């Protein structure tokens, strides 16, 4: 329980600042103890609440009083402040911005492509991509692991699944990065508009080309669904492609980057994994818990007044679940600050919880496992090529990922 007096002991911090990113974990620990339902104000004046304890985070993610579709609850004016109408209609009509029944309808359209069984069929191809990327740098003896390995691997995979040219990846990297940085930041939104428009034009060209030449990729399957009517509107088709490209660009990259960095910072755990590669799946779960790529879940809004720990969250307030904080909650995890690749019962929230639980989890897990094992096998003497203190986290609000990770091997 939290009282108003100790709420004041927690300093107001700008969650969007680099300073916050560098010190997020100690701040979350303080919040879990002193102010687990923390009120803050977004730059557009919207009231928001940060949920930091595991039990509360789990409950909010499963509670249908917290909704994903802002149109249900906010005024048109408030929505327009988030993103202008044309761009929002084309980019934000996807499952992560909808509640049932639209959410279930859209998720069902692509669910089959991401089941563990379907993803397992990609194993040989993912292995081939990992081998090719590492063979290309092997003789150099050093690389920036983010740019040369962690980034291209998941991008090539998602591009192949969707049926889009992987050569365009540098372009989408810039586009999806701009999108992630502009989320919840009205001051960046205007600046980012031309980028969104380029992204929309690109998706439009992809759809036009594919309509003329349907194949067996995911975009063709979605175009079939659109043609059957009722299943998917054109805006939803654009938004689905956009969501899959962004999810494929901003997440697994950081699972690999954060994972390698954390292992290099914990040499005993690294040695344990090298000598026991069968620990890879629990190692990946521990990376997702200890330094998962998605730090904060995407926005939710209270659909009605809700009381949590004596804090009244009013209808229309925004609620942000700090997955990174829940994953270090001392009441849920034994020694949460210890990175232990053999941890049992690791019920982390790194992929979220409830109906929006990550659709790409089986794919991300497989990519992460193959990436790490291949790297350790081919480059057993891997080391950081800089002082760990000089490495910088990307100053994005939702995600946790390193800007670069120079290594020698
Ligand atoms: C390690 C990598 C990944 C992590 C940590 C991750 C994490 C998450 C999280 C936390 C959510 C829930 C967000 C919320 O409830 O607000 C989510 C949803 C989602 N993720 Fe992932 N993700 C990863 C990789 C991927 C990949 C590779 C894809 C597919 C290309 C993907 C597609 C999605 C989709 C479509 C949703 C929305 C699901 C829905 O609304 O029902 N993710 N992800």
Give pLDDT, residue 7.
Answer: 46
Atom of ligand 1 nearest to the CA of 110: 35
Centre of ligand 1 from the C-alpha of residue 163, in Å: 20
pLDDT for res 175 = 87
Whole-prediction pTM: 0.94
Stated as kind and residue range, the H or E segment containing 222 is: helix 218-227
Q: 252-265 vs 152-162: helix axis angle to the nearest 10?
A: 160
**Pairing, β 47-51 against β 300-302:** unpaired
How close is the Cα of 321 to the center of ligand 1, in Å?
14
Give the per-residue pLDDT at 137: 98
Number of domains in the chain: 1
Q: CA dihedral defined by 230, 234, 235, 241, rounded to 10 degrees?
A: 110
**155 near 166, Cβ under 8 Å?**
yes
Contacts 24+ apart (CB under 8 A), 32-38: 32/325, 32/329, 32/330, 34/2, 34/6, 34/7, 34/9, 34/10, 35/2, 35/6, 35/7, 35/9, 35/10, 36/2, 36/309, 37/2, 37/308, 37/309, 37/311, 37/313, 38/7, 38/10
Residues having CB within 6 Å of any atom of ligand 1: 95-96, 107, 158, 243-244, 247-248, 251-252, 255, 292-294, 297-298, 323, 350-352, 356, 358-360, 363-364
Q: Which helix (H) or strand (E) holds 77?
A: helix 76-82
In this structure, what token pair is assigned to residue 291? 């330094």
From 257, 360, 368, the mutation candidate for ligand 1 (largest count of ligand atoms within 8 A of CB) is 360
- For the sheet with 406-408, list strands across it: 142-144, 406-408, 383-384
Distance 350 CA to ligand 1 centre (A): 9
The span from the CA of 58 to the CA of 60, in Å, is 6
pLDDT at 184: 65
pLDDT, residue 181, reads: 80
* Cβ atoms of residues 375 and 138 within 8 Å: no
CB atoms within 10 A of CB 232: 21
Contact indicator for 17, 23 with CB cutoff of 8 Å: no
Place of tokens 């992204």: 199
* Ligand 1: residue whose CA is nearest its atom 17: 358
Radius of gyration of the chain from its Cα atoms, rounded to whole angstroms: 21
Residue with the smallest CA separation from ligand 1 atom 41 is 356
- Domain extent, residue 40, equals 4-408
pLDDT of residue 3: 39
pLDDT in tens, 210-248: 999 999 999 999 998 887 777 899 999 999 999 999 998
Low-confidence stretches of the chain (pLDDT beneath 70): 1-12, 184, 186
Q: What is the CATH number of the domain that holds 61?
A: 1.10.630.10
Positive or negative torsion for Cα 221, 223, 229, 230: positive
Antiparallel, parallel or unpaired: β 300-302 and 66-67: antiparallel
């Amino acid at each position: 329980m939290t009282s108003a007096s100790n709420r004041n002991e927690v300093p107001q911090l700008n969650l969007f600042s680099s300073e916050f990113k560098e010190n997020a974990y100690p701040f979350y620990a303080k919040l879990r103890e002193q102010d687990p339902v923390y009120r803050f104000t977004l730059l557009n004046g919207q009231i928001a609440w940060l949920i930091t304890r595991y039990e509360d985070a789990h409950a909010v993610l499963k509670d249908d009083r917290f909704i994903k579709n802002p149109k249900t609850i906010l005024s048109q004016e408030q929505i327009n402040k988030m993103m202008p109408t044309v761009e929002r209609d084309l980019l934000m009509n996807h499952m992560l911005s909808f509640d049932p029944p639209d959410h279930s309808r859209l998720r069902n359209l692509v669910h089959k492509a991401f089941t563990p069984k379907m993803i397992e069929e990609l194993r040989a191809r993912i292995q081939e991509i990992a081998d090719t990327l590492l063979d290309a740098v092997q003789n150099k003896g050093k690389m920036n692991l983010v740019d040369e390995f962690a980034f291209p691997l998941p991008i090539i995979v998602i591009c192949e699944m969707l049926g889009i040219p992987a050569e365009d990846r540098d372009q989408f990297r810039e586009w999806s990065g701009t999108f992630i940085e502009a989320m919840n930041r009205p001051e960046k939104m205007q600046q980012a508009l031309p980028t969104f428009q380029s992204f929309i034009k690109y998706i439009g060209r992809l759809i036009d080309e594919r309509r003329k030449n349907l194949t067996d990729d995911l975009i063709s399957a979605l175009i079939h669904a659109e043609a059957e009517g009722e299943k998917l509107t054109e805006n939803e088709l654009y938004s689905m492609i956009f969501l899959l490209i962004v999810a494929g660009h901003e997440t697994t990259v950081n699972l690999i980057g954060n994972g390698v960095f954390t292992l290099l910072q914990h040499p005993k755990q690294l040695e344990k994994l090298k000598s026991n590669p069968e620990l890879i799946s629990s190692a990946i779960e521990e990376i997702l818990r200890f330094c998962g790529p998605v730090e904060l879940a995407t926005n939710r809004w209270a659909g009605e007044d809700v009381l949590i720990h004596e804090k009244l969250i009013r209808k229309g307030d925004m609620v942000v679940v700090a997955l990174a904080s829940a994953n270090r909650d001392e009441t849920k995890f034994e020694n949460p600050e210890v990175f232990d690749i053999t941890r049992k019962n690791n019920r982390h929230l790194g992929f979220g919880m409830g109906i929006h639980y990550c659709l790409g989890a089986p794919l991300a897990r497989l990519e992460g496992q193959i990436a790490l094992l291949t790297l350790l096998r081919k480059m057993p003497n891997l080391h950081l090529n800089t002082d760990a203190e000089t490495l910088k986290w990307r100053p994005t609000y939702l995600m946790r990922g390193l800007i670069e990770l120079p290594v020698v091997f």
